[in-house]
Amino acid sequence: MTSQEIFEQVKKKKSFLCVGLDSDVNKIPHFLYDTSDPVFAFNKEIIDATHDLAVAYKPNLAFYESMGVSGWNTLEKTVNYIRYNYPDIFIIADAKRGDIGNTSNLYARAFFDAMDFDAVTVAPYMGEDSVKPFLTYVGKYVILLALTSNKGASDFQYMAEDGERLFEKVIKNSQEWGDSENMMYVVGATKAEMLKDIRKIAPKHFLLVPGVGAQGGSLAEVARNGLNSKCGLLVNSSRGIIFAGNGEDFAAKAREAAQEVQSEMAGLLSEANLL
Amino acid sequence: MTSQEIFEQVKKKKSFLCVGLDSDVNKIPHFLYDTSDPVFAFNKEIIDATHDLAVAYKPNLAFYESMGVSGWNTLEKTVNYIRYNYPDIFIIADAKRGDIGNTSNLYARAFFDAMDFDAVTVAPYMGEDSVKPFLTYVGKYVILLALTSNKGASDFQYMAEDGERLFEKVIKNSQEWGDSENMMYVVGATKAEMLKDIRKIAPKHFLLVPGVGAQGGSLAEVARNGLNSKCGLLVNSSRGIIFAGNGEDFAAKAREAAQEVQSEMAGLLSEANLL
């Protein structure tokens, strides 16, 4: 998928919402436990209820791996379901992988060949050869962790050498490995004031922004500091949407929550003259 | 498993060898393709042929994930096989995970509860709250990436602030989160001269050392710089052992290759008065 195609979808849906499918089996409505694959049944209903409001889905792999073989199966079915029914939607494997070259190659194969993800999140600690194997797939993206939304982000990511912080070094150096057609960055919404600095060194890239909602980041602040001429933002919300309700009407509740975010996004896109 | 128990095993086997089960389905002997689970058949034979020479096994998860659901199944069977038949052996999930707290929690559950690994490799980029959930399991270990063996290690890991390099900062700061009974560090053999510096800041911890053999690191140099009073080293070899042969006798060839390494290790342990 090209960044232009993502932008077309943003304009059509008036949304830059990514729904995080952090579908914890312990938190989904209990009546789904009667089905043969409760998490898939949950995902399917969430996707059907929000597909016209979201431009991306992002399963976090931990929630699937923690269920072992059956979880991996659920993940594959979920990706296939989205791809088959809503082929325009961007699908992100939130995997935070990163290993030596020949091993990253295999992860790339797992997410881009064996499954049909459009993007995978990657941790930058091991440097260029751990990232490059993901960049050889045309139309697929590495989403590199830059500045994360969690508390521990401050442990190492702000470390500075000659005035350049680690997250800035990651963004700068990695632009020698790829470009805005095969790379994006994770920038937490809880650091929205940093988005201005980041836009100076990565003006064209899409940024994946977690941390709006449950983690406390402000959508308006993210948009005002982070939007570029082709949107350039995918803002993720997970729990706030998928667990908005817990009864028979959980999908309708999720839709309402997504609609609320989408409607705010439509206003912000319009304010930035992007519609 | 306590670090003392690992040391007891080292003394008994006169070895600090970790065999990397990077069991690429494309590289295993082709006659195994006739079995119902070729990679498991391969692992089983490798394990049976080397269990008295190795103190640890380390499946790299990429090789299993790249096969999708069936690979995940193979991984579970492999872990169970080692645990059931050779219960003293230390089993490492080379997963290089690391995510926000509640998500790392799920990874911990996946590797320590759903499967019975003793340790999991974790990337430090996201800081304390991404590591801590793994540290709450008694007798289980986080093996934190510090200084890796690949070329890209130099991209960020040597970045320095006030004379302290990132990999040193990782080792120092993380000692506030756990101790040598629940944490180890990855230090590549290709950086053996760094082991002396690292031993100054982490005298007691076990270090997992990849990069001997195929990647060119020297075992003797690693041992002389890295051994402590309770061994403190697990040196990994993957391809050099598991793919030593490619015919019907692949397991015997793997044993020979492991024996060669073990015999050098016995000499080095004896030289350091550890036997």
pLDDT tens digits, A1-21: 999 999 999 999 999 999 999
Higher pLDDT, A124 or B193: A124
Nearest CA in chain B to A105: B62
A220 touches chain B (CB under 8 A): no
Nearest CA in chain B to A22: B103
Q: Exposure of A187 by Cβ count < 10 A (0-12 exposed, 13-18 middle, 19+ buried)?
A: buried
Q: How many CB pairs under 8 A join A and B?
A: 174
| pLDDT, mean over chain A | 95
Long-range contacts of B81-85 (CB under 8 A, 24+ apart): B81/B40, B81/B43, B81/B44, B81/B47, B82/B47, B82/B51, B82/B57, B83/B116, B85/B47, B85/B48, B85/B51
Residue B193 confidence (pLDDT)? 81
B214 touches chain A (CB under 8 A): no
* B265's tokens: 């290790």
DSSP three-state, residue B237:
strand
How many residues belong to chain B? 275
* B64's tokens: 């299993």
Residue B6 confidence (pLDDT)? 98
CB-nearest partner of A123 from B69, B109, B125: B125
Question: Which residues of B are less than 8 Å from A127 in CB distance?
Answer: 150-157
From residue A126, how far is each of A101, B120, B145 by CA, in Å? 10, 17, 9
CATH at residue B126: 3.20.20.70
Check: CB of residue A82 under 8 Å from CB of residue B126. no
Beta bridge partners, B147, equal B187
Q: Catalytic: B96?
A: yes
Handedness of CA B125, B130, B131, B132 (dihedral sign): positive
The boundaries of the domain holding residue B38 are 3-271
Domains contained in chain A, number: 1
Structure confidence by residue, pLDDT tens digits, B159-189: 999 999 999 999 999 999 999 999 999 998 8
Q: How far apart are CA B264 and CA B261, in angstroms?
A: 5
Structure confidence by residue, pLDDT tens digits, B130-148: 999 999 999 999 999 999 9
Residue A192 confidence (pLDDT)? 79
Residue A68 confidence (pLDDT)? 83
Question: Which residues of A are less than 8 Å from B169 in CB distance?
Answer: 156, 159
Question: Which residues of B are less than 8 Å from A186 in CB distance?
Answer: none
| pLDDT, mean over chain B | 95
Structure confidence by residue, pLDDT tens digits, B17-66: 999 999 999 999 999 999 999 999 999 999 999 999 999 999 999 999 88
* B12's tokens: 């008994």
DSSP 8-class letter at A34: G
**How sure is the predictor about A100, in pLDDT bands with cuts at 50, 70 and 90?**
confident
From residue B58, how far is each of A95, A97, B119 by CA, in Å? 20, 17, 9
- Residue numbers of B between 87 and 126 with CB closer than 8 Å to A: 94, 96-101, 103-104, 106-107, 109-110, 114-115, 123-126
Question: Which residues of A are less than 8 Å from B23 in CB distance?
Answer: none
Structure confidence by residue, pLDDT tens digits, A43-57: 999 999 999 999 999
**How sure is the predictor about A217, in pLDDT bands with cuts at 50, 70 and 90?**
confident
> Which of A64-73, B52-61, B89-98, B123-132 shows the lowest mean pLDDT across its residues?
A64-73
Contact A169 B156 (CB under 8 A): yes
Q: How far apart are CA A234 and CA A15, in angstroms?
A: 9
DSSP three-state, residue B148:
coil
- Residue numbers of A between 142 and 171 with CB closer than 8 Å to B: 145, 148-157, 159-161, 166, 169-170
Q: Which of A107, A125, A190, A209 to mutate to test the interface with B (most CBs of B within 10 A)?
A: A125
Residue A193 confidence (pLDDT)? 81
**How sure is the predictor about B214, in pLDDT bands with cuts at 50, 70 and 90?**
low
Contact B62 A145 (CB under 8 A): no
Q: Which of A67, A103, A115 to mutate to test the interface with B (most CBs of B within 10 A)?
A: A103
β-bridge pairing A160-161 and A164-165: antiparallel
